[in-house]
Structure 1
């Protein structure tokens, strides 16, 4: 009976942990709609529309500003909630299970961050992206432009005066499906670095200062790129 009760409790915890993931994203994105609701109420009260009224000409601008408010509120409110509640995961190798605290945090972040990342790919505003990434725990130095895709912001860091081209990807995690584990390993990019368009950087990579990674190059897991060099090819090799 004790074993059955223990199994039942474990099953309840398992189901509860999996419910937390979609519920957290639903709650956070619902909160993100609050500013646009107030905006719509403001428009309704102060701008009376009729089909023959000149204010109808304002409609395209009102819709544009409404969409902008909605996108910005979703981006920044989700980032602020992640920062306020400290939903950051730590590097390490973990069983791929919601019973593991860091894995559960990773799953929650993925459910919230992935839709926002897609929005930021459509609206490539550097400062906006950098601000959002910082809310997610990413370290970004001055005058650094981050393009492409950052899979794991809270374990990724950039130094000063660095550039990451479009379609480049940085991974901070990798799954081992045979062992049922997930490895979360930080990626560090130094000062004055250039990550070419379409380059891929795997978990644990360290890119020292003044390094150029050519377009389409593959920086392998835990690879270290030495300062002052250019790296090209698959896998990335010093030119």
Structure 2
């Protein structure tokens, strides 16, 4: 994004086209499973025999496996057609315009992959996720522990025995409101990445250790056999400084943090009834199931009315609707959970208004705030578990207490879904965090966060309550804003705490210039910085 840009036209997409493409991919992925299920129940009529009921378990996995295989085949076929008809992917910088072949191909491939990705990721099985990513062009070595925020796209490579914390992020592209930058990200063997670290467009050598809050920028070359810290990353030590026991200690620390529920821990001082909250969550799920079953019941009545025991072609003709019925049923489930969440939120809204400010932890309003906050998060989690999580902004608008503009992308970010104001064209990278509340000195503090239009939030950045960013702000990956920070003018923000750089620093940065991090390594200076910052090696 350049300094001179005042108004940015968002990339024009045909919503109808992408919705139709999504439904086509869903249909071709699911219909083979529908045919196999139809054959099974025709050949083996339903019975309440215990053995028959047990056979339904392997049947489910067989149907799921067929759907996985079908989605993979047709996803690869669709991408092959794009490469033939539009363009093959190439490293470079491209305008965000559907008139640009590379951008158009990139956007369509995201949509083609979306349903297959949802199928492969649904049960959170690591081997399925790794298999899917390999098939999409990501090169993954043996015994690699993958992070949550890794894009399934070309030009990424991860060497054997690489170990990542869950919150690590890697990508083969960067994108703002003006440019799409496709770049290579290469990670060597035996690398370790602690929490909130990662890189885009960097080359990281073997035996590299990235400490917490460390990022390799576009074009950076880390030669390896070293320890790196900071954003942009700097070499602070040698890999040989770590004994095998210390390396295992780092991995153990990663495992412990991966298991930590930070949302639960942050809000733990506010005591509420766990049984009451669980009951409301259960009712939300039941409400969603009732909506879904109602739609399925209507379809079953229609199918039974036209079902013919002898005319299988007619039956199969009606079964062609089943993939669409499946997607619509998931939609009804999401509608039901959203409505029931809204009912509970409206009930607590009626009990008490909660303006911004400080509250004692035993204040009834603090307890109501926590209940509403956790209900919103639970409802969002259910919605994002469905294959159309891109619509999460509509859900948050429906629940209220947020102000959103148009063309906002949040889906893989972690935000407090209340006391939040986002302008038009705000884009958040995976793992970006916005906190509109915190517990400070034994009190609950609530303050609205405001992000101006055409702003971009990098991966794993942290924005605390009360922060205000003007239009056209760019927040670098893992930048950290303290509470109530009021930023006056558009700028590039990076570091912890975030410091300001002029947007002109980005002018011409769309190219890829190599920078060897290790060349500036001064061991004595690094040791002084380690001692000053109390960085443990």
The TM-score normalised by the length of structure 1 is: 0.75
Deviations 1:32-90 (A, max 9, x none): 0122112211221132224x544563376157426633652365234432564364522
Matching of residues 89-128 of structure 1 within 5 Å: 89-128=89-128
Structure 2: how far apart are the matches of 1:115 and 1:238? Answer: 41
Per-residue deviation at 1:161?
Answer: 2.8
- Cα distance in 2 for partners of 1:111, 1:89 equals 16
Distance 1:198-1:147 versus aligned 2 partners, 3 A rule: same
Aligned pair partner of 1:218 in 209, 215, 219 = 215
Q: Within 5 Å, which residues of 2 pair with 1:85-234?
A: 85=81, 87=83, 89-177=89-177, 180-202=178-200, 204-234=201-231
Shift of 1:133: 1.8
Task: Tell me the TM-score normalized by structure 2.
Answer: 0.37
CA distance in 2, matches of 1:197, 1:217: 9
Task: Write the distance in 2 (CA, Å) between the matches of 1:124 and 1:213.
Answer: 25
Q: Deviations over 1:187-223 (max 9, x none)?
A: 1111222233432323x11111111223443322322
Give a deviation string over 1:113-144, Cα, whole Å, max 9, x none.
Answer: 34544554443444433332222122223343
Cα-to-partner distance string for 1:130-164 (whole Å, 9 max, x where unaligned):
33222212222334343322225212112233233
Where 1:61 maps in the other structure, the secondary structure is helix
Q: Which moved more, 1:34-43 or 1:22-31?
A: 22-31
1:77 and 2:73 equivalent? yes
Alignment check: 8 A CA contact 2:33 2:67 kept: no
Whether 2:7 is the aligned partner of 1:43: answer no
SS of residue in 2 equivalent to 1:224: strand
Q: Is 2:68–2:120's contact at 8 Å kept on the other side of the alignment?
A: no
Larger CA deviation: 157-166 vs 62-71? 62-71
Q: Which moved more, 1:143-152 or 1:70-79?
A: 70-79
Task: Count matched residues.
Answer: 221
Work out whether residues 33 and 64 of structure 2, in 8 Å CA contact, stay in contact via their aligned partners in 1.
Answer: no
In 2, the alpha carbon distance for the partners of 1:127 and 1:143 equals 11
| SS at structure 2 position matched to 1:231 | strand
Are the counterparts in 1 of residues 167 and 197 from structure 2 also a CA contact under 8 Å? yes
> Could you list the runs of 5+ residues in structure 1 that have no partner in the other structure?
1-13
Aligned residues: CA RMSD: 3.0
Paired with 1:122 and 1:200, the residues of 2 have a C-alpha distance of 24
Cα distance change of structure 1 residues 63 and 209 upon mapping to structure 2, 3 Å threshold: same
| 1:159 and 1:190 in contact (8 A); partners too | yes
Alpha-carbon distance in 1 for matches of 2:122, 2:228: 29
Which ranges in structure 2 are unaligned for 5 or more consecutive residues? 1-11, 237-537
Q: Does structure 1 retain, via aligned residues, the 8 Å contact 2:25–2:115?
A: no
Distance 1:218 1:98, change over 3 A: same
Tell me: CA distance 1:118–1:31, structure 2 relative to 1, closer, same or farther (3 Å): closer
2:23 and 2:75 map into 1 onto residues whose CA distance is: 14
